A = this chain, B = another copy of it.
Amino acid sequence: MAKFYSVGVGAGDGSYITLGALRALEKSDIIAVPSKKSGNKSTALNIISKEFDTSKKELLELEFSMSSDAKERELSREKSAERIIAALKAGKNVAMITLGDVSIYSTCSYVHGAVKNAGFEIEIIPGITSFCAAADKARISLCEGGESVAIIPSAKGADLEKYTADFDTVIIMKAGADTDGIYEALKRRGMESNAIVSSRVGMENELIEPLREGKSYGYFTTVIIKKKGF
């Protein structure tokens, strides 16, 4: 019976691809490539193309709508799951690729559930998360000894004062829209020098630097705040 691989390809650099990811791609007939909009260039596909000859495989582009309309999002997920299940029913192994790790803010759960309900075997291949890649590139540790870490999706509506009081490290995943607010909140606690911004880690135009006031950062921007500094 055909098998479904859900593959984390890491945070941006081809060198973050694991041996397990390569082997899953090798064993697959079809590489399923999620995108936010049909025709969009996929970063995950770009990453694996550096280390794997995708021309030998059939590519299946899946649209996962990011519409504000919940119905539309649901419909696009259902449609994508159906297309994967149809391929599996035709006896083809499918590998769906995802940036970073599959368990961290990916939208794969729905597909996993649908594929499982259709009776097919699923294997999830772990990937390098963006925050580990950013910390390692910046040569900082996220936690040591008795330290604790909070990971939050964005700074929007988040009580940063509380997080930075309660935790040694705070990771804000999609921080791009709120960097000035983060800077202000940290300044109130005298911690404005304790934050590092990273975006496009391992990719072209990679940026890893101390958080600055009044600067615009992109969508893939993660902020790492360390209570004790660097």
A151 interface neighbour in B105, B127, B143, B146, Cβ under 8 Å: B143
Q: What is the count of identical protomers in the complex?
A: 2
Closest-by-CB residue of B relative to A171 is: B149
Distance, CA A116 to CA B16, complexed state (A): 24
Counting CB contacts under 8 A, is A210 at the interface?
Answer: no
Residues of B within 8 A of A23 (CB): 15
Closest-by-CB residue of B relative to A6 is: B136
Interface segment out of the listed A75-83, A96-104, A186-194: A96-104
Verify A106–B18 contact, CB threshold 8 A.
no
Closest-by-CB residue of B relative to A16 is: B18
Residues of B within 8 A of A51 (CB): 19
Residues of B within 8 A of A15 (CB): 18-20, 23, 125
Residues of B within 8 A of A19 (CB): 14-19, 22, 51
Verify A139–B124 contact, CB threshold 8 A.
yes
Residues of B within 8 A of A139 (CB): 112, 116, 122, 124
Verify B16–A126 contact, CB threshold 8 A.
yes
Verify B104–A8 contact, CB threshold 8 A.
no
Counting CB contacts under 8 A, is A53 at the interface?
Answer: no
Verify A136–B141 contact, CB threshold 8 A.
no
In the A-B complex, the 4 residue pairs with the closest CB atoms: A15-B20, A103-B135, A124-B136, A149-B151
Chain A positions near chain B (C-beta within 8 angstroms): 8, 10-11, 13-20, 22-23, 51, 101-109, 112, 116, 122, 124-129, 132-133, 135-137, 139-154, 167
